[in-house]
Structure 1
Amino acid sequence: MKTKIAQAAAILLAGLASSGLAQAGMDKAGIETSFRDTTVRPQDDFYRHVNGKWLKTAEIPADRSSAGAFMDLREAVVPRLHTLIENLQKKPGAAGSDAQKIGDLYASFMDTRQIEAAGLKPLHAEFAKVDAIKDKAELPALFAWLNRMSVLAPLDISVHQDNKDSTKYVLDVGQSGTALPDRDYYLKDDDAKLKGTREKYQAHIAKMLKMSGDKEAEAHAAAILALETEFARAQWTKVELRDPVKAYNKVELAKLGEVTTGFDWNAYLKALGVTGKVDYLILAQPSYLKGMSEVLAKTPLDTIKVYLKWNLLASAASQLPKEYADESFAFFAQTLRGVPQQEVRWKRGVRLVDSGMGESLGKLYVEKYFPASSKARMEELVGNLLQAYKDSVGTLDWMSDATKKEALGKLATFMPKIGYPNKWKDYSALQIKKGDALGNLRAIRQFAADAELAKLGKPVDRDEWGMTPQTVNAYYNPEMNEIVFPAAILQAPFFNPKADDAVNYGAIGAVIGHEISHGFDDQGAQYDGQGNLRDWWTKEDHEKFAAKTAALVKQYNGYSPIPGYNVNGELTLGENIADNSGLAIAYKAYKLSLKGKPAPVINGMTGEQRFFMGFAQVWRGKIREQEAIIRIKTDPHSPGEFRANGTLRNMPSFYDAFGVKPGDKLYLAPTERVSIW
């Protein structure tokens, strides 16, 4: 089950380990001068001018698929969480307390002796449940059971606000069934890398099945890949999935049979435990569900059962003996993402606890690592950015007065959330048993699913967070019309209380502006201030906005991070709008913060120059080729290089700050620059 924030747009930050100015090479303004490559002109490649020495010398750690400002900060959080967990183990809490559960969840994963001794026994009861199926009519209930454990199944669910009535929760049902990152991995035969990955996936399935005692492992692996390929053929593309109107298909329970054939929806909903709680579903991709039912109808039951047992095995690999965990890593990390070395076990244990009891761990994180002063300063920055947006609305040449009025109304209802939630998640219903690694994994997944399903029929909880405080990221949720900034992102180089304002506005200011702008990108603009899908634009505004975004699509389609693979301007459109708009508004907010006074010159740089340096340094990063291909295929964000250079090429103030002229590589003629905000 997907416990998601529906349609939320996250910035996907890829961080710097230090939270102060003491880091080697960082000047008093907060700029990493030691990373600059002054042999590269800022007018030709600002990204490399700011980050060039780092790009030449930095190496991606062996256990990671990428490195850079964002990812480093994420990694810096892990040992902090580890210390918090270890402290709980030194002073175990009372039975049933969060402290006891966190300690036992971690300890059970670290108890490799017990895991090795248990072998595949923890899976026997689950396999038996699949083997007991005698008729395809029993499959819907089995799929619901798998959904509740977040085990791959042909369809998946999520609970979120109804996009046309944001006062109530709704159950969304949509496509699933495939383990590879994108349908192209199954369907494209003209791409040797994708085709090769597909072949290695089949070999991986066969090896895992053989290890588990399957005497027909090779044939079963081929059948599983063939079945997943059929599901992929019915799936929508990543670009199609971006359309919230197309994905809103309200179907009453009595009419579900008109969409699918031979699928017992009553049995499915009963097994989910939501009978009587919903009288309609939102079918996110109805054509997929129709295709899925047709695929299931023509596929032998034994093949489906082999596929489902494989998914149970694959989902449990991390909690099974070393040979299974290692083989899972060998394909899903080494082959698929190019990561040569598996993380040490304690890190994997920390990530398990973080995924299962993140808010309980987050409460401890905030107490130790997040000062109240950071939250207060962030509230000030958010206020300044919102004011800059309000001021900017009146200057827009592409928005009519009627739409401007609606835009200001939406801005007025924005809900900022900073640092941590006002109320913490209750884990009292979660049962964790010491020495039961797989059982605990299933328990935390079922707990999360049950908590989501329990929302149905209840008032919308506007205090809920979709990220934990220790998450290095940020997001905008159009259904709540909220912008959320967890505590862990409020560190250098994004936010540094000791740094120059120009640098902070270029870094965290651009992040804030990015998230606010999602309320007005090609997706978010379809929601009103109450979080409902409603067209509040005039026809002329739509046409002018479409012209601007078409130009942005064309720009980013031309960027190629890897030979033969270009950025998908349509897939990344919303994030590209947010990057360009967010930086433009952050610049205006910085100017407002000066209150008419000139910015001081620091280390020979003007305030405007430091602003753009602060922006560019947060995007430094390196990525392994396999991971880069996955992101090009699936990630709505452009690669960091183009989030920096691609955005700056559209900013007139950047041209002024660094004297960019015709003939410079970053120069775009004024008529080619895209200015939205």
Structure 2
Amino acid sequence: MGLLMIDATKAKNDFYDAVNGDWLKTAEIPSDHSSTGGFMDLVDDVDKKLMSDFADMKSGKLANDDPLIKEFLKFYDVAANFEKRDQDGATPLKTYIDQVEAIQSFEDLNKQFKEWLLAGLPTPFDLGVEPDLKTQGKTKLNVLWAEGGSLILPDKTYYEKDNQAGPQLLAVFTQMAEKLLTMVGKSESEAKVIVADAKKFDASMAPFKKNSEEMSDVSKLYNPTDFAEIIKDLGVFKVDEAISELLGETPKQVIVTEPKFFENFTKFVNEETFPAFKNWLLVNVVRQFAGYLSEDFRQVGGTYQRALSGQKEAMKQQKSAFYMARRMFSQVVGDYYGKKYFGEKAKQDVHDMAVSMTGVYKKRLQNNTWLSKATREKAVVKLNAMDIHVGYPDKMEEVYKRLHTTPVEDGGDLLTNVQNFSKIFTEDQLSKYNQPVDKEKWEMSADTVNAYYSPEGNLICFPAAILQAPFYSLKQTASQNYGGIGAVMAHEISHAFDPNGALFDENGSLHNWWTETDMKEFKKRSEAMVKEFDGLPFAGGKVNGKLVVTENVADDGGLSCALEAAKQTENTDLEGFFVNWATVWRSKSTTEYKQLLLSIDVHAPNKLRANVQVKNFDEFYDTFDVQPGDGMYLKPEDRVQIW
């Protein structure tokens, strides 16, 4: 072992701090951010490149003949025209406020439910068309899903009496909502009544919602229910005809994620609660559309979200307009970024690396000592069938060709354009009902600094934006790259065998392929991972081991597989491997943001991802000479390894 590149004593006691401590001392969170560091730095770099390119296109300095990019730029211009937005004030919102205020009964709403849903207006339940998780065989169909309506607070747990953050956040929300209502012409006393009603209705839904931990268990989200049964549960919402019209046929069943919510629906949505429900609609409409209006609406409308994340100020106008336009044209912007800043050669190189990682994974599965032969063989079948998406999609989704902006000079305004586009996207999604699932569809755009595994598609995806340093660079050693992108790749592969992914077969169907004994052993090992993280103190709270178990199992498998791959390279440098692993998770966040993620995020906090996972590997102890009594020491019998 050569000279360590980090302080040996620090590495033995707090590895994350040894790697990132100096950076943490000087790093500053930008005022319009809630965090800075590894992922966020890459996001900022991608934003900078794209905003610069698009500014050059607008000025004529950079040529681009892509009609989709031209359409994006037209919409970007409308979003960035704050002079027009300020002139219009609340006027573009008036149509929607009038629409809500005209409703005198549930019957009135039922008559326009089809248009209401297409306009993306608030409802106390959500409908969508997504893959059927239990379709057998290779041809999967899209079906109708239903979920409980969204709450004001970020999670059901915030409504519990002992949760001090709940009332604090509701106070911020109340102030914001009342202010927004006065800005659209309500008196202060009217605004107070409307917001109080909205909060009352919101609180009545909360007991029947699932919390983040419950929502993280995929197997319990799949509850096929007769369509007639759901319509009966919806009581005063007589929307069967509207749904049938939207889908082009009457569905036989709906997949319900929160059965308890629908079983109790008539307790909080009925003739008696109509006045409070109507005011809930009003508050949500104003809040939902505030960001598309004038600057004062944008500032006030973002108050609650900033309080949630600890962000000190709103994003600058130009950047907020860019984010809005990019969100609408996500795949178009991603395609541009991927082709310009990544390219076909890198796409092939990284694809080869992903194939090589699946090869390492396959050997590990074949040599696994705790699985039976039957389950091992099935796991390899699943791995062999896994698709790999790298860089950017091979084809553009047709829906983007339907987006046509009405410029300001032709009487267009931002909110109307946004609503026209939203309707097109909703119609497109609903048109996929009872159609085969498109396995080539990407869930992220190429300019996203992230990666994912899709259990229903049995595919891994690595967008172009994550494929740069510190994750991956030709300037880094192979060991460093394996500690970065290699571990990320193997992490996503491991999701196929985490407590959720393991329930899906090679075709992406919820279908048990395990022997009973093997599944029992897998659950026991997963439980050990729950225990390893559960209750760890962080940001004034404690980690919920069950909430973060799937991501932790994937981290553990990813690190294990990447470590093996690194050890097979020439000039293996395990110190570089582990140091880059900790560098990737470098992050400085506001206290509010840390606490929010602790409640709702299925990932463990970054520092714990870096520190706790490495303790499970003997190679870490050898590399940094970690001994009993050191802060990073974990007894061999407590070390958790699953894959």
Q: Same fold (TM over 0.5)?
A: yes
Q: Structure 2: which amino acid aligns with 1:158?
A: G
Distance 1:410 1:222 in 2: 52
| Aligned match for 2:542, one of 556, 566, 579 | 566
Q: Which moved more, 1:485-494 or 1:312-321?
A: 312-321
Contact 2:145 2:255 (8 Å CA) reproduced: yes
Summarize the Cα distance change of 1:156–1:586 in structure 2 as closer, same or farther, 3 Å threshold: same
| Aligned match for 2:585, one of 619, 626, 640 | 619
| Aligned match for 1:325, one of 290, 295, 298 | 298
Distance 1:339 1:480 in 2: 36
Distance 2:479 2:8 in 1: 24
Contact 2:197 2:277 (8 Å CA) reproduced: no
Question: Percent same amino acid at aligned positions?
Answer: 31
Residue matched to 1:486: 463
Secondary structure, counterpart of 2:147 in structure 1: strand
Q: Give matches, 1:308-319, under 5 Å.
A: 308-319=281-292
Q: Which moved more, 1:369-378 or 1:386-395?
A: 369-378
Q: Give matches, 1:164-563, under 5 Å.
A: 164-165=134-135, 167-185=140-158, 187-215=159-187, 216-270=190-244, 273-276=246-249, 278-297=251-270, 299-333=272-306, 335-426=307-398, 427-435=400-408, 436-563=413-540
Distance 1:440 1:57 in 2: 43
The normalised TM-score by structure 1 is 0.89
Summarize the Cα distance change of 1:330–1:40 in structure 2 as closer, same or farther, 3 Å threshold: farther
Shift of 1:182: 1.1
Cα deviation digits, residues 414-471 of structure 1 (max 9, x gap): 0000001010122222231112111122223222222211211322211111111101
Summarize the Cα distance change of 1:413–1:648 in structure 2 as closer, same or farther, 3 Å threshold: same
Distance 1:307 1:164 in 2: 36
Distance 2:590 2:37 in 1: 12
Cα deviation digits, residues 286-340 of structure 1 (max 9, x gap): 211233332111543232222112211111111112221111222221x222111
| 2:551 is the alignment partner of 1:575 | yes
Summarize the Cα distance change of 1:37–1:202 in structure 2 as closer, same or farther, 3 Å threshold: farther
Q: Structure 1: which amino acid aligns with 2:258?
A: Q
| 2:627 is the alignment partner of 1:661 | yes
Distance 2:404 2:576 in 1: 51
Summarize the Cα distance change of 1:397–1:447 in structure 2 as closer, same or farther, 3 Å threshold: same
Q: Structure 2: which amino acid aligns with 1:617?
A: T
Contact 1:37 1:48 (8 Å CA) reproduced: no
Secondary structure, counterpart of 1:313 in structure 2: helix
Q: Structure 2: which amino acid aligns with 1:577?
A: V
Summarize the Cα distance change of 1:71–1:570 in structure 2 as closer, same or farther, 3 Å threshold: same
Residue matched to 2:43: 74
Q: Which moved more, 1:237-246 or 1:514-523?
A: 237-246
Shift of 1:133: 2.0
Q: Give matches, 1:98-177, under 5 Å.
A: 98-140=68-110, 145-165=115-135, 167-177=140-150
Distance 1:372 1:637 in 2: 32
Q: Structure 1: which amino acid aligns with 2:519?
A: H
Q: Which moved more, 1:216-225 or 1:292-301?
A: 292-301
Shift of 1:89: 2.7
| Aligned match for 2:33, one of 58, 64, 73 | 64
Distance 1:637 1:146 in 2: 35
The runs of 5 or more residues in structure 2 that have no matched partner are: none
Q: Which moved more, 1:409-418 or 1:294-303?
A: 294-303
Secondary structure, counterpart of 2:427 in structure 1: helix
Contact 2:335 2:393 (8 Å CA) reproduced: no
Secondary structure, counterpart of 2:321 in structure 1: helix
Summarize the Cα distance change of 1:267–1:128 in structure 2 as closer, same or farther, 3 Å threshold: farther
Distance 1:628 1:141 in 2: 44
Distance 1:104 1:290 in 2: 46
Q: Structure 2: which amino acid aligns with 1:645?
A: N
Distance 2:66 2:524 in 1: 58
Residue matched to 2:23: 54
| Structure 1 stretches of at least 4 aligned residues deviating more than 6 Å after TM superposition | 92-96
Q: Structure 2: which amino acid aligns with 1:196?
A: Q
Summarize the Cα distance change of 1:95–1:671 in structure 2 as closer, same or farther, 3 Å threshold: closer
Distance 1:368 1:161 in 2: 32
Distance 2:391 2:64 in 1: 28
Shift of 1:142: 5.2
Summarize the Cα distance change of 1:667–1:579 in structure 2 as closer, same or farther, 3 Å threshold: same
Summarize the Cα distance change of 1:303–1:537 in structure 2 as closer, same or farther, 3 Å threshold: same
Summarize the Cα distance change of 1:648–1:299 in structure 2 as closer, same or farther, 3 Å threshold: farther
Cα deviation digits, residues 555-611 of structure 1 (max 9, x gap): 111322212x1111101110000111100011112223x2xx5x26xxxxxx11111
User: Which structure carries more helix by proportion?
Assistant: 2
The runs of 5 or more residues in structure 1 that have no matched partner are: 1-32, 601-606
Secondary structure, counterpart of 1:428 in structure 2: helix
Summarize the Cα distance change of 1:527–1:140 in structure 2 as closer, same or farther, 3 Å threshold: farther
Shift of 1:543: 1.5
Summarize the Cα distance change of 1:591–1:93 in structure 2 as closer, same or farther, 3 Å threshold: closer
Shift of 1:409: 0.5
Contact 2:483 2:563 (8 Å CA) reproduced: yes
Contact 1:319 1:438 (8 Å CA) reproduced: yes
TM-align CA RMSD: 2.3
Distance 1:439 1:95 in 2: 26
Distance 2:527 2:122 in 1: 36
Residue matched to 1:17: none
The normalised TM-score by structure 2 is 0.94
Contact 1:147 1:156 (8 Å CA) reproduced: no
Shift of 1:69: 0.5
Shift of 1:95: 12
Distance 1:374 1:567 in 2: 38
Distance 2:115 2:281 in 1: 11
Q: Structure 1: which amino acid aligns with 2:362?
A: K
Cα deviation digits, residues 164-218 of structure 1 (max 9, x gap): 0161111211012313211223x12323233211222122211211222123111
Shift of 1:224: 0.6
Summarize the Cα distance change of 1:142–1:53 in structure 2 as closer, same or farther, 3 Å threshold: farther
Cα deviation digits, residues 372-397 of structure 1 (max 9, x gap): 33222212221221011111112323
